[in-house]
């Protein structure tokens, strides 16, 4: 059961993020839901990269790896997760700046008010 704990956390984070995105009307809460969903996906990628018995060091291959026979975790999911984190930070900053400008110009803080502006 303890080995499945990261997957349970992933499911919880994605469920919380989806619930916030689908059912909350405040724009700031919407941005928070997107960020929580991204965090769940990032944790899922990291959890998939781990293999039981792996060494949790940087996957740098040296002559020492051939002498000890140590197994390293795959570096590709870690690189993808790092890229995803950078993109997530940029997306969150852009969303928050967009929502701030909407509030300053139109005094809009919910999706319902935003829909009224459209009509």
pLDDT score recorded for residue 52: 64
* Domain CATH number, residue 62: 1.10.287.3510
- Give the domain range for residue 42: 2-118
Residue 28 has pLDDT above 80, yes or no: yes
Alpha-carbon distance values, 40 to 6, 29, 33, 56, 80 (Å):
10, 16, 11, 21, 14
Q: pLDDT tens across 30-81, in order?
A: 999 999 999 999 999 988 887 666 555 555 555 555 565 556 666 788 889 9
Provide the pLDDT for residue 11.
97
pLDDT, average across residues 84-92: 96
| Segment 7-11 mean pLDDT | 96
If one counts the domains in the chain, the total is 1
pTM confidence score: 0.82
């Amino acid at each position: 059961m303890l080995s499945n704990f990261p997957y349970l956390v992933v499911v919880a984070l994605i469920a919380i993020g989806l619930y916030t995105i689908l059912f909350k009307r405040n724009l700031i809460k919407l941005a928070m839901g997107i960020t929580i969903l991204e965090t769940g996906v990032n944790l899922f990628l990291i959890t998939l990269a781990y293999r039981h018995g792996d060494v949790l060091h940087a996957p740098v291959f040296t002559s020492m790896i051939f002498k000890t026979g140590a197994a390293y975790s795959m570096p590709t999911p870690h690189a993808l997760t790092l890229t995803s984190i950078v993109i997530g930070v940029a997306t969150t900053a852009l969303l928050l700046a967009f929502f701030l400008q909407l509030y300053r110009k139109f005094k809009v803080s919910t999706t319902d008010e935003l829909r009224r502006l459209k009509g």
